[in-house]
A and B are shown apart, each in its own frame.
Chain A
Amino acid sequence: MNLRDKIFIRKVVAAHSRRNFLKGAGAVLAGSSALTMPWQARAEAHGRERKFLFFWAGGGWDTCAVLDPHYESGDVDMEPLTQLSTAGGLKFTGGEVRLQTERFMARWAPYTSIVNGINVHSVGHDSATKFVLTGTSASSYSDWPTLLASNGRYEYPLPHVVFSGPSFPGTNGAAVVRAGGGTLLDLIDGSIIGQADRAAPLPPPPADSQIDAFVRRRISDYAAKQTGLGRSRADALLSNMERSMELEGRRFEAGLDDLGNNVLDQAVKATELFRLGLSRTAMIRIPGGFDTHGSQLPQGVMQDNFFGVLDQVFDHLSRTPGQTSEFLIDEVVVVATGEFGRTPRLNGGGGKDHWPYGSMLVAGAGVNGNRMLGKTDAGLIAEPIDFATGQPSGTGEMLAIENVGTALLELGNLDASRFLPGIQVFNGLLRNPR
């Protein structure tokens, strides 16, 4: 990297603004055609900011199937052919029907924390989803990935990409991009206008860019005349205009022609978006229905398959060069959870019903790995813990989802008290708490 590039990166970091960035880029580019492209420089700057990959187990996964084993208890029905396994400091449900889980834990335990006994406040699917992802039940609150994406130090063209799964944009809708169904890609590459009943040709790229620049200026002039909330909305339009221009320019580089059809492809694509500085957070739904009232049998299979995917994702993260770290694994945080847990005992139909204590897997950059955090007793009910260590404590407090969520915000270098004032952060999850 030459000196001019370094100066440019410093300017980008100082600007904290996409618009200032564009102006700066224009000025620099005018002086040299051989200079690093602006997004390359920005991508380097972005590497200093942690990215987050969320996996969602819709329906409510059974915490005992992997993350919270209770073989010691006669009050918890554990799956036959499974056994208590350990890897580093982690204890989990393993055995001959959990080979993929065993492999993941054996390889990635140092990066991984398991958080058990999280009170999610509800056993209704919709409300628990809202609680787990936002820490509240209020409609105006954004979910954790949206907050992280919209409050980062830098701006991203696709701040939070929802490949699949739930999303609560709250008041930060501009930061959320829904990638489902492939329509977004068709919009980015313009192919959608050829799919319409009255199709039209695309303008050639140079003319297209000229139109974009013209429209951008019109929006900028419009925004300058607005005040208050109107100004905020107009600024969001301007920011997204710039994001759309960047996406059109980088769609080949980012491989945006295909966002993947399965959870592994989508996860790898998400990490690519992170690496290129295009996105900060992503949400992917874990395949399968975890709402196993009728039969508990699919739980173990689905979770073991997921850990197989997770193993490959971490393999990819560990081999892919990062921006400021040697590898992506030191820049990305992976979070896997569902809306709640399931009852300790099987019901009359051989399934398990909803349970208000959930478990979460958090792994990757900045995570206090190799640890079991939080605890449930032999009846699968949470015990009080010391928030600093995450370990059971008679003088501790009950762990709730908002405590864990605010810890995720802190992992993303956000001051959690700005978003959920008065909530105690679960520092036990953080390798280096404030």
Chain B
Amino acid sequence: MRMKILTVLLLASCTPESEEADDAAAFELLSPRQQLIRLSVDLRGIHPSEVELQAIEQAPALYDKFADEWLEQPAFIERTKELFNYRFLSRTGDTYFDIAQRDLSNVGDAKMGEFIANEPLALLEYIIDNDLPYSYIVTAPHSMANPQLAQMWDMYYPEDSRGWQPVIYKDGRPHSGMLTMTTMWERYPSMGGNANRHRANAISKMFLCDDYLSRPVVLNRAAVDQLTIDPENAISVNASCQSCHSTLDPIASNFFGFFNYDDQLGIERTMYRPEMEEEWRYYSGKEPGYYGRPTSNIIEFGEQLAKDQRFMDCAVKTVFEGLTQREITDNDWSEVQPHANRFAETGQNIRELMRSIVKSDEYKAATVNNVDRAQEIATVKLVSPAQLESIIEDKTGYKWTFNGRDGLTTNDMGLPTLMGGIDSRSIVEPSYTPSVGGLFIQERLAMSAGFYVASTDLALDREGPARLLKFVTIEDTPEASPDAFDAQIRDLYLQLTGIPLPVDATEPNELMQLWKYQYSIEADPTRAWSSVVSAVLRDPNIIFY
């Protein structure tokens, strides 16, 4: 419902001047330093360097230049993939089949699961890399694969190539971007009487932000009786059923080439079968189409889908909600419309959409002046598990891995979901409210990284400059070198959070006391500094941005 209203509002041709004037005073903005931290975490997954922060303090107008530069960096694409996975939900980690069926056991299930999940997201990356319109995601005459995925899903992989490349399937299927990817139809399977309806609704959810299952349906006793006796007939003639099925079933009918659920075939059942294309006649009996217009094949369907205004609005919604960490409401039209306009004007360019959003006042807001909206607009944002991992690694050099696998970007240990992330299967919406699990994750990661920093920076045989502990040596104590300790602790805050401590801050003294206490227990300066660094790494200015 909200999206429908939003769509109507987005179609409105202009914004009243009075509303624009209200908007101008709607927010108090973050300081330039804090703005740049927010921007950097969102686009690069790391904090800015102190040099960059000092530069923007000198010249706040540099914000736009930083945004332009960082929007060209690879990390921005990774971030965009993370946001769109909230919509596509392909990162389940599933391989769907025993990978030994394709002689891929040497790759391992975990790695292969990542490759499979990346098929649609690699196409998104290809679109951004090549400044193609977002509509290409459902019209591309190819899929994407690396050599392993090409072997798994039986695709032609170009000779003498490496990495992710545009590819086509060997089974002769039509190609229409994500609409013809095996990964998608394994992620969203359909069997029996469901007759591709699950897939049709998945398309609606992913590309139109419209979930048929969220529509209220009232079935009376007669309708239930009818459904019991002859479900397909009831769906066709009952008005309540038709309120959804009149448009859902024609969408589903486009995909019968993929409708093969014979488990006996193993991985061969992923093959596209042209001879199955007409099977809709035996199920819904509804000719393939797209909201009242007939379609003769999936390619035509993809073209119709891409022309739908809701398709574009859904992309805007996905990016806007991901970056602002809030759900779009009916009150949002004045904020969202300029971004939607920019997206349309630039030919559905994702990078330009992101640019428009991160340069807006709402994005930079520290405070919302309108009391009614203050509880809707997030002025404090929570880092995602992937962002926390990359921030800590960038600052300390420590990467939290278990058996060679990332702790916070893979779900092997369940850490991302404990922190509010998704697993794309049972947990499909991120939580932006800190959880107790997230607190423990930050604490334990901080302990690990703190010990790593202290033990490497204070090592007598250290090669090169210290990463963080530059003002003290292993010989120093608070009693003998209070100024060095004070400078070191202040610098830790500056380097790790990007926010300097006030001159009269009590933190240096408190952390010196902590150092002394820790040292009194174990007489180990490395352990004592480890505790101090970990305390700073647990600062709210790291988990929030």
Contacts and interface: CB of A to CB of B under 8 A. Distances in A.
Interface of A: 121-122, 124, 126-127, 137-140, 157-158, 166-167, 169, 171-174, 176-178, 180-181, 183-184, 187-188, 190, 192-193, 195-204, 206-207, 210-211, 214-215, 218-219, 222-223, 226-234, 236-237, 240-241, 243-244, 247, 343, 356, 379, 381
B220 to A, nearest CB: 9
Contact of A169 (B431, B450, B534): B431
A227 B379 contact: yes
A203 to B, nearest CB: 5
Contacts of A243: 436, 439
Contact of B538 (A127, A180, A211, A230): A211
Contact of A200 (B211, B373, B448, B544): B448
Interface stretch (B170-178, B221-229, B266-274): B221-229
Interface string B395-431: 0001111111001000001110110100000110101
B213 interface: yes
B141 interface: no
Interface in B13-42: none
Contacts of B368: 227-229
Given A204-B522, A219-B540, A240-B436, 8 more contacts: A137-B213, A139-B429, A177-B436, A187-B441, A197-B401, A210-B517, A237-B540, A343-B228
A247 B435 CA distance: 13
A92 to B, nearest CB: 24
B133 to A, nearest CB: 28
A173 B414 CA distance: 16
A218 B539 contact: yes
B514 A177 contact: no
A139 B328 CA distance: 13
Contact of B433 (A157, A173, A196, A206): A173
Contacts of B398: 198
25 contacts: A127-B213, A167-B426, A171-B433, A173-B433, A177-B436, A178-B418, A192-B444, A193-B444, A197-B402, A199-B448, A200-B452, A203-B530, A204-B522, A207-B514, A207-B517, A211-B531, A211-B534, A215-B538, A226-B380, A229-B379, A230-B366, A232-B433, A233-B378, A240-B434, A244-B443
B535 A215 contact: yes
Contacts of A231: 380
Interface string B459-494: 000000000000000000000000000000000000
Nearest to B426: A166
A137 B214 contact: yes
B423 to A, nearest CB: 10
A172 B435 CA distance: 9
B452 A233 contact: no
Contact of A158 (B436, B517, B530): B436
A307 B85 CA distance: 40
A104 B540 CA distance: 50
Interface of B: 198, 211, 213-215, 217, 219, 221, 224-225, 228, 326-327, 366-368, 373-380, 382, 398-404, 407, 413-415, 417-418, 420, 426-427, 429, 431-441, 443-444, 447-448, 450-452, 507, 510-511, 514, 517-518, 521-522, 527, 530-531, 534-535, 538-541, 543-544
Contacts of B443: 187, 215, 244
B363 to A, nearest CB: 14
B434 A211 contact: no
A313 to B, nearest CB: 24
Contacts of A198: 398-399, 401, 448, 452
A140 B399 CA distance: 34
Nearest to B194: A124
Nearest to A191: B444
Contact of B435 (A138, A181, A188, A240): A240
B74 to A, nearest CB: 25
Contact of A196 (B379, B380, B401): B401
Contact of B225 (A124, A241, A381): A381
B538 A379 contact: no
A422 to B, nearest CB: 13
Nearest to B451: A200
A244 B436 contact: yes
A122 B375 contact: no
Contacts of B374: 227-229
B383 to A, nearest CB: 12
Nearest to A199: B448
B531 A240 contact: no
B444 A190 contact: yes
Contacts of B366: 230
Nearest to A221: B540
* Residue among B374, B377, B440, B518 having the largest count of chain A Cβ atoms under 10 Å: B440
Given A173-B432, A187-B441, A381-B225, A196 B448 contact: yes
